[in-house]
Structure 1
Amino acid sequence: MLPSLSLPTPPLPTVSATEKLLLTIIGLGLLALLPATFAADAWLAQMSLYAAMTLVSMGTLLWAARKFAGKPAGVQQDNLWLRSSTSRGAVAWLTAVVLTGFYVLLYWFSSPDEQGNFGFLNSLVHSLDPLSQAIRQRPSDQWFLYGTFYTLAILLMGGRALWKYRHSPYQRIRTASVMFFQLGFAWLLPGVLLAFQRPEYYFSYFWPLKYDYLFPGTVGYLLKDGGPGLGVFMVFWGAVMSFVGTPILTYFFGKRWYCSWVCGCGGLAETAGDPYRHLSDKSREAWRWEVRIIYPILAFIVLVTVLLWLGVAGTLPAWFTTVQPSSITLFSNLSPVDALSKFYGFAIGAVFSGVVGVGFYPLMGSRVWCRFGCPMAAYLGILQKYLSRFRITTNGAQCISCGNCSNVCEMGIDVKQYAQRGEPIIRASCVGCGMCSTVCPRGVLNLENGPRDGRYQGSQLITAESLRILS
């Protein structure tokens, strides 16, 4: 038996002194969050928070410019599995613990008391009071803190993505789009509506992702507090975009029009989650779990929405009115239907989309929520697979099996297998980010919105064309 040979691990490339300085600035900014969180003095906490945001912003943007501008244009996925931060090493686990811990504090330990104290995050929350007053004409709360951090992450890491993918017009425009929608529609506009004493409404989120927007209670609240003009428009906008706009746009462009261009969840995944996209599980078993989880979640929220409206109409099934709430729910003093909606909000809206969806980026990839839990992604996926013109065409004759396309697919699709066979990619889970096409060194993959005829005959068409050329 021949002795086994172990090849030495190649060393990581050296980091220049300038990059080290910029990374140190980012580290100092993160450290400044500690006095911002724990300082008893309000002025010190406020100055520390703004110093932290300034240092992190300046350091990140300058570091991205230094790291990517000095290299030739093109995607270089080097050393991802050698770095502790991107290979599920100690740094990745530490990052996951910090992110998960922050989300746990935010969702369950930051509700204000009668004195306006937000628990562990009180100093951080009130440090944003001046900014909140300027935009919303009211003091900050835990969700304004969350939205500010969320938006800042998309803007900063979006700046990084613009440098990294500067050679690709599609990636530049797509990145700019998610930055615009997050800043304008998901952060500024809802705050301005509050300043004018109107409901805080997110025009870039639709049912079933923003599941309560079509609940009877929310519809009534929007109509009452939004007024006869704006309130009616909000309800109309939510309903039309959910049931008319979404199918039409998905027919022409696939689910990418939303998941990769508009949605804040997708925006964070495509920017802040970009370093972790290669971590998504490409196995068939992972795909089976994806199907087992995401479609029941969609069915669950559809059922809850229908039951709530049946209850308002007085036509709720009799067995729902005879069962005692305490016998089927942990939420006391709630009807069975209301308990189901509260359970969905807790288990899916908070635990899955919030804590797991972002906290597990460094361990499971950047689209954990989009892939396994988002009901909007499931809804769009059904439309995309069976009713859309969108597909990714492949040219198997040009594929060199480098595997770059599969490596960068954050939705766990083994793109290389399709490319090798020359088959078009028509998958419900594909978000159309176009990264597989961007990293392909041979131009094998192309995002298309062509006629539906031939969507499933890509390999036959390519084979016939290849035979014609050879003959």
Structure 2
Amino acid sequence: MTAIQKIGITFFITACVLTIGVLFVNSYKLSDEVIDEAISGETERDQLKNILNPLYGTPYSTSFTFQNAYGERLSAANDEITKKYAISDSEIARYLTSAGEEPITYRADMWDAVFEDNEAGDFKRDQFKSYTSWMENKVYATSGDLRNQLSITQNDINSRISESKGFGGERLKSINLALNRHGSTGTLQEYRLPWLLGTIGLGILGALMYILPKSRQLPGIKNNGIFRHPNTNRGWIGIIVGTLLILFYIVLYWYPEHMTGWMILVDPLSLRLNGGIASQWFFYGLLYTLSILVMGIRMMIKYRHSKYHLVRTGSVMFFQTAFAFLIPEILIRLNMPSMDLKNIWPLNYTFFYDYNLQQLTSAGVVGTSMLIWGILLIVIGVPLLTYLYGKRWYCSWVCGCGGLAETLGDPYRQLSDKSVKAWKIERWMIHSVLVFAILMTAGVVYTYFSGSSTLLGINTYSLRSVYGFLIGAAFAGVVGVGFYPFMGNRVWCRFGCPLAAYLGIVQRFKSRFRITTNGGQCISCGNCSTYCEMGIDVRWYAQRGQNIVRSSCVGCGVCSSVCPRGVLNLENRDENGRFGTPELTGLEPASLPEIGKR
């Protein structure tokens, strides 16, 4: 390691420590002004002022003690509100009694006689009429059938009272973030630019000082002890990096109120791009983009002997910076719907959510164009481009998840499990997620057009909440990135990405793409298998002269670049002979396993 690299790594570690320290330099305090800035609704502001007034002026040293203090008061108030507005079993029974003899025709106006004429009664009446509009004039054979449906609706309404009238669920998360964001005071607000330069700026400088001297080395892949280094072989450095990544994603998705210091840190950039203060997603998008750009430079230096990798890496750097970060932020500033135009359903699983469809359809020509663009990508773009170029056109050239895996995750690519057992688990898991995404989306679309929150007895709102938690956050974020140092850089792409599954199905059965092999030149060095981030035992195919047409292959081309004999070649050719021919190996067909089955 050169002196410049040692200084660079020192700068980078210092920047990381300072960045974590940013979360603890401010204090927190409540006041009328804080609540006015944090909460937009007048009624909600007045509620919070009455509840939290006794805490005014008291300073809290951390976001944890601050949130605990006001959280206790909100919880007590929430219990009272829930008790006041909850729909009881006796009210359901009164409706059924007044409904008359069986069969029963459901009529929403009959709730007028069930609920009292007061604030709570009006709320219950309006909720039931809204939730059961799709049931109007529907005939039920027995009162038991109607009771079952009304009980489902009752549970749906009651479970959301704390969120719609009180301080629970997503509403509480929003309040927590807003109060912590605006209640924060200290030197960070006064000296944001020095803090920004001393954290993110110093980190970028340190990383580049460590990376750039590598360009003086001879081109070509060097193993350099990747299976002995404590970072790249699940050693103590890798464990620390993985743990920090996992903790970061847990805070990002479920406790963003505790990262308000980072949001304040990047406020100047957010104000210039979108005209507003930074959210946790702006900070994450900025960090994500900078990671791809900085580590993309490392990628280009490492693979500079291959023009393919230079162009491919430049592509993911461009698409992440322009399409995933800058354009969506600029659209916000222009009061337009904000969307990553390269993010395709089902990876973008919220595309068909009711709020997104309403936002797009109500935004005029721009919103309608985005909606049409998204649907065309799903129906025409994916199958056509995958047929022509394989899934590499997206997974290795465009996708932000793939871009982070190829750049930030490149040091860990050799950790991917190449066993047959892992391959079997991979196939079951990724296609199960795809099925889950399809069913969830079908339920969401059904609810959007029908108004009914249940499909085949399943609550569609619960279904999409479960998907968002398990797949969208826990798998794609916490596991997908946090497990880089433990399971390799494409954990999400291999085992969880539903779009990768969709692309892979097309690639496996209807595509011009393949990786051809020349078995007669293979010396079984194993470089290709070692560097395959998708867990493909490439050497197995190369030894037999079989073309690689696995649905999981993202066509990154690294296996070809690290081969010392030029055995592997990425090709787009006519489909005939795509699965290879046994004659290429010089062996009799009967002596070979069935082509393409491994």
Matched residue, 2:121: none
What TM-score results when the alignment is normalised by the length of structure 2? 0.69
| Counterpart Cα distance in 2 of 1:120 and 1:315 | 37
Greater C-alpha radius of gyration: 2
* SS class of match (1:55): helix
Which of 369, 372, 376 pairs up with 1:233? 369
- For structure 1, the residue ranges without an aligned partner over 5 or more in a row are 1-14, 111-118, 329-335, 465-471
Say if 2:269 is the partner of 1:131: yes
| Counterpart Cα distance in 1 of 2:266 and 2:305 | 37
Which of 162, 186, 190 pairs up with 2:324? 186
Contact 2:5/2:211 (8 A) holds in 1: no
Contact 1:406/1:414 (8 A) holds in 2: yes
Which of 116, 140, 151 pairs up with 2:289? 151
Matched residue, 1:161: 299
Say if 2:204 is the partner of 1:66: no
| Counterpart Cα distance in 1 of 2:510 and 2:477 | 30
| Counterpart Cα distance in 1 of 2:21 and 2:446 | 51
Deviation at 1:461, TM superposition (A): 4.3
Q: What does residue range 44-443 of structure 1 map to in structure 2 within 5 Å?
A: 44=191, 47-67=194-214, 69-110=215-256, 119-224=257-362, 226-227=363-364, 229-314=365-450, 320=455, 323=457, 336-443=459-566
Matched residue, 1:10: none
Deviation at 1:20, TM superposition (A): 1.4
| Counterpart Cα distance in 1 of 2:22 and 2:260 | 10
Deviation by residue 1:22-56 (Cα, 9 ceiling, x = unmatched): 21122222222133222112234652233222222
For residues 79 and 311 of structure 1, do their structure 2 counterparts lie closer, same or farther at Cα, with a shift above 3 Å needed? same
Deviation at 1:136, TM superposition (A): 0.4
Contact 2:544/2:585 (8 A) holds in 1: no
What TM-score results when the alignment is normalised by the length of structure 1? 0.88
Contact 2:490/2:534 (8 A) holds in 1: yes
Deviation by residue 1:47-94 (Cα, 9 ceiling, x = unmatched): 223322222212222321212x22111011220111111110111111
Contact 1:423/1:459 (8 A) holds in 2: yes
* SS class of match (2:313): helix
Deviates more, 1:286-295 or 1:55-64: 55-64
Equivalent AA in structure 1 for residue 231 of structure 2? S
Contact 2:516/2:569 (8 A) holds in 1: yes
* SS class of match (2:382): helix
RMSD: 1.8
The runs of at least 4 consecutive aligned structure 1 residues that moved more than 6 Å come to none
Size of the aligned set, in residue pairs, is: 427
| Counterpart Cα distance in 2 of 1:409 and 1:136 | 39
- For structure 2, the residue ranges without an aligned partner over 5 or more in a row are 27-186, 588-598
Contact 2:391/2:554 (8 A) holds in 1: yes
Say if 2:163 is the partner of 1:17: no
Contact 1:38/1:45 (8 A) holds in 2: no
Equivalent AA in structure 1 for residue 417 of structure 2? D
Deviation at 1:217, TM superposition (A): 3.6
Which of 556, 559, 567 pairs up with 1:444? 567
| Counterpart Cα distance in 2 of 1:239 and 1:127 | 37
Deviation at 1:216, TM superposition (A): 4.1
| Counterpart Cα distance in 1 of 2:330 and 2:229 | 42
Deviation at 1:16, TM superposition (A): 2.8
| Counterpart Cα distance in 2 of 1:23 and 1:416 | 36
Matched residue, 1:469: none
Matched residue, 2:165: none
For residues 50 and 36 of structure 1, do their structure 2 counterparts lie closer, same or farther at Cα, with a shift above 3 Å needed? farther
| Counterpart Cα distance in 1 of 2:417 and 2:194 | 42
Contact 2:4/2:209 (8 A) holds in 1: no
| Counterpart Cα distance in 1 of 2:348 and 2:520 | 44
Contact 1:214/1:238 (8 A) holds in 2: no
Deviation at 1:457, TM superposition (A): 2.7
Deviation at 1:428, TM superposition (A): 0.4
Equivalent AA in structure 2 for residue 147 of structure 1? G
Matched residue, 2:157: none
